[in-house]
Chain A
Amino acid sequence: MRTMAIRTIIPTVNTMLAYDFMRNAFAAAGVVALVAGAVGYFLVLRGQSFAGHALAHLGFTGATGAVLLGIAPLWGLVLLTLAGGIGMGLLGERLAQRDVAIGLVLALSLGFGLLFLHFYTAFATQASALLFGNILAVDIGTVWTLAALGALCLGTLALIARPLLFASLQPELAEAKGVSLRFYAVAFLAIVALATAECAQIVGVLLVFTLMVGPAAAAQRLTGAVGRGVLLAMALALAEAWLGITLAYYTDWPSSFWIAALSASAYLLAVAIGR
C-alpha cells in the first residue's frame, strides 16, 4: 500500500518540478520561510506581532508607489517597510507596541496604497498579487534577490541574537547592563521589515502573518527552549510553505490560501498538544 502510494507520488513530484516556475516557487518559498520562521520567533517573543502586520501594510503602499514610478514592486516594498520599521523603533519600544499608533499607520498606508492603485491602470491583477501574493510569477532573478536579502536578514539576526534576547526578556536589566534598548529595537524592526518584504512576495502583504507569526507561535507552544524554538519555527514555516505550494499545484486553489490554512491548523494543533 505505502510503496504504491510513494510510487505514484514521486513521478508526480517530478513532473511538478519539471516546470521552471514551480522550481522557482519552491526555491523562493523555501528561502522566505526560513527567514520568516527565525525572525517571527523573536517577533512573537517580543509581543510585536501587530507591528509586523502594520509593516506589511506599509509594504503595500511602497509596492504600489513603486509600480506607479515604474520601479520593481519588491524595491518599493523593501524601502517603505524598512523606513517604517526604523521609524517605529525610533519612536520607542513602548510606542512601537501601542495598538492605536500602529493601527493608524496601518490604515493610512492602505489608504495611500489604494490611491496609488487608483492612478495605476492595471488595477485588479496588480492589487491582488500584492495583497495575496503570486508565488508562481516569481522568476529566477527574484529568487536570487530574495536569497540575498534573506541571507542579510538571517546574518544580522544571528549577529544580534543574544543581546536582542536579553533586551526582550528583561529590558530594564539589559539596560542596566549596558545594552541599548533603542538600538536593538530599531535593528530588530529593520530586520522584520526586510523579512516582511520577502514574505509579501510569497503570500502577499495581507497574509504575512501566516508565515511570520503562525509557525513561531506554534513553535513556542511546543518547546520552551530558545534554540530549539527558532529551528522548529523555521522547519514549520518551510513545511507549510512547500506543502501549501504542492497542494495548490494539485487543487488549483491559491497557494496563499493553503499556506494560511496550514499555518492556522499547525498553530491550533500545537495549542492542543502543548497543554
Chain B
Amino acid sequence: MPCHGSNRVTSIALQGVRLKLGTRVILADASLAIGEAEFIGVLGANGAGKTTLMRAILGLLRPERGRIEVLGSPAARGNPAVGYMPQSRAAIGALRLTGWEFVAGVLDGHRLGLPIAGRAGRAEVDRVLDLVGARALARRPLAETSGGERQRLLLAQTLIGRPRLLLLDEPLISLDPHHQASVVALVRALQRELRITVLFSAHELNPLLGALDRVLYLGRGEAALGSVEAVITAPVLSRLYGAEIEVVRLGGRIFVMSGSHDVERDAHQHDQHDTHAHDGHTHDHTHGEHDAGV
C-alpha cells in the first residue's frame, strides 16, 4: 500500500495528474498525497477546479495524464468506500418527501428492483441520522426544513454504507455564519469519531480554520497542499491567483487580499448567481456581519 511521509496510510494519491475540461486545464501536473483520517480544506476561487478535482477522485473524469489512487486502488466509479455530497442541490428544497425517505433513497441505489428498505436498510438509515442528530427532523418533508437542517440530512446520506473517504463539495454555501460553524464542527466531530478522511471544499478559509488538518489550495492549474502556515502565504497564493496577494491575519482570522479587496469574499459574492435568489439574503447578512467583525 502506498505511504506518505511517516507511516500513515494514503487515502488519495495524485501522481503527475493533468486534468482538463474541454480546452481548460484545471490541473497541469499535480502530485500529492492525502493521509488516512485527515481533514482537508479544499480552497480556491470560483472556477479554480474544486468540483472538477472531486469528480476526478470519484472516477467521473479521467485525467489526461498521471494516476489518481483512492484508498489504494485506481479512481473508479461506484466505490462504496467513498461518500460524496455534490455541490448542486437546489432541487432538493422543493421535495415533499421526508428527510428519512430522501436519505433512504440512496440505499443500494445502483441495484435493480423496488426501493423498499429491508430491516438492515432501515437500521442503516436510522444509524446515519443518529450520527448527525437528525432523527427527529427527518420526519418532516424536505420542503419544510431550513438550509442548515437539509445540510445535516445530506451529510447523513453521505455516511450510508460506512465510507472511509468523504468528499463534501461546498457544504457551507448559503448558510449563515452560525450554521456554517455548526456544520464544520459536526463534520470535524464525525471525522474524528469515525476516523475517516474528509475533503471539504469552501471558498472561504475562516469557517474551517479551527477544524482542518491541512489545506489544498487550487488556482491557475496548480495545487498547493500543506499546513495553513505553509500554504496561506503571500508567495504561494500570489502564484495561485496570478496576482499580487497579501495575507492579513486579524483576531484569529485570515484575509486573503489583492490590493485593497478580499479575494475570497469576492468569490463568495459571485457565487450568488449559482444559488437561489432568496438565499442571496443570507449571503448579504454574512458579509454584513463579516465587516462588522473586522
With A176-B58, A176-B59, A221-B96: A159-B113 Cβ-Cβ less than 8 Å: yes
A169 to B94, CA, bound (A): 11
Against A, the Cβ 8 Å flags (1 = close, 0 = not) of B84-107 are 111010011001111001100110
Complex interface residues of chain A between 138 and 181 (CB less than 8 A to chain B): 158-163, 165-167, 169-179
Q: Is the CB of B78 within 8 A of A178?
A: yes
With A162-B111, A220-B96, A221-B96: A169-B105 Cβ-Cβ less than 8 Å: yes
With A170-B157, A173-B84, A173-B86: A226-B101 Cβ-Cβ less than 8 Å: yes
A90 to B44, CA, bound (A): 35
A179 CB contact (under 8 Å) in B55, B101, B110, B157: B110
Q: Is the CB of B110 within 8 A of A161?
A: no
* Residues of B contacting A165 in the complex (Cβ-Cβ under 8 angstroms): 105, 109, 115
* Residues of B contacting A162 in the complex (Cβ-Cβ under 8 angstroms): 108-109, 111-115
Count chain A CB atoms within 10 A of each CB in B80, B113, B115 and give the residue with the most: B115
- Tell me the minimal C-beta distance from B73 to chain A in angstroms: 15
Q: Is the CB of B109 within 8 A of A177?
A: yes
* Residues of A contacting B111 in the complex (Cβ-Cβ under 8 angstroms): 162-163
A170 CB contact (under 8 Å) in B59, B60, B106, B113: B106
* Residues of B contacting A70 in the complex (Cβ-Cβ under 8 angstroms): none
Q: Is the CB of B60 within 8 A of A226?
A: no
* Residues of A contacting B82 in the complex (Cβ-Cβ under 8 angstroms): 176
A226 to B157, CA, bound (A): 17
Further pairs besides A162-B113, A176-B58, A177-B80: 14, Cβ < 8 Å: A45-B97, A162-B109, A165-B105, A166-B109, A166-B110, A169-B95, A170-B106, A170-B157, A173-B157, A174-B109, A221-B96, A224-B97, A224-B98, A226-B97
Residues on B facing A (Cβ under 8 Å): 55, 58-60, 77-78, 80, 82, 84-86, 88, 91-92, 95-98, 101-102, 105-106, 108-116, 140-141, 157
Residues on A facing B (Cβ under 8 Å): 45, 47, 158-163, 165-167, 169-179, 220-221, 224-227, 229, 274
A/B interface sample: 27 pairs, CB < 8 A = A45-B95, A158-B114, A160-B112, A162-B109, A163-B109, A163-B111, A163-B112, A166-B105, A166-B109, A166-B110, A166-B115, A167-B109, A169-B92, A169-B102, A169-B106, A170-B105, A173-B85, A175-B60, A176-B58, A176-B82, A176-B84, A177-B80, A177-B106, A178-B110, A179-B110, A224-B98, A224-B140
